[in-house]
Amino acid sequence: MKTGALPKQLDLRGLAARGVHIEGTVSPEDLPRLADSGIAIVESGSAAFDFRRDEEARHVVAVSVEVKVVMQCQRCLSDMEVAVDSASLMACVWSDEEAAALPATYEPLLVDGAADLSDIAEEEILLAIPVSPIHEAECKSAEQQAALETDAEEPAAVEDSGERDSPFSVLQRLKS
């Protein structure tokens, strides 16, 4: 099956009533909030949507998104690739009261008639990215490594005279 860009402005209720499956690609142009948060996409990712109705006639959407993003490692501050593979089961709701009444198995998807599948995929990616990404292996920047080597070369000389200075000795000297 050939996949292209995700369609825009779809009636999710109609799709759920017909049991439609939609697959498509997500590109950086489709995800402006992701770019605004400083996260770049390595290459176009994929998204799949399964629309159906459940036993209680709820409009349900099973969403799965796979994409690789570039984020900054919080340990060494260099760029790193993070694979995002997320899946969610959502129920379409039209008010906050309906969202509060949903069973715990569903995440609420607040819709106003027509919805943009790229927006739903982008929200899924934003929720799935790690808060503080770090490399799996130990990583240090060149500056950090140089600072550690300098500290290792010059061990601090500690004299142990057996007596500890009183914290008030400085005050005593100032007084006299």
**Rounded CA separation 76/142 (Å):** 9
What is the distance between the alpha carbons of residues 165 and 161, in angstroms, rounded to a whole number?
A: 10
Q: How many Cβ atoms from other residues are within 10 Å of residue 72's Cβ? A: 14
Instruction: Return the closest-CA partner of residue 47 out of 26, 30, 16.
Output: 26
Q: What is the pLDDT of residue 52?
A: 93
* Distance between CA atoms of residues 53 and 138, nearest Å: 47
pLDDT of 1 over the 50 cut: no
Q: pLDDT at residue 150 above 80? A: no
CA atoms within 13 A on the CB side of 57: 0
Asked if pLDDT for residue 147 goes beyond 50, the answer is: yes
The mean predicted confidence, pLDDT, of the chain is: 83
pLDDT single digits (tens) 93-134 = 888 898 899 999 999 988 887 888 888 999 999 999 988 888
Q: State both tokens at 170.
A: 């400085």
Sign of the CA dihedral running 34, 36, 42, 43 = positive
The pLDDT assigned to 30 comes to 83
Spell out the domain ranges in the chain: 4-143
Q: How confident is the model over 45-88, as pLDDT tens digits? A: 899 999 999 999 899 999 999 999 998 888 888 888 999 999 99
pLDDT at 169: 80
One DSSP character per residue, 72-114 reads E-TTT--EEEEEEEEEEEEEEESSHHHHHTS-TT-EEEE--SE
Tokens of 158: 């500690």
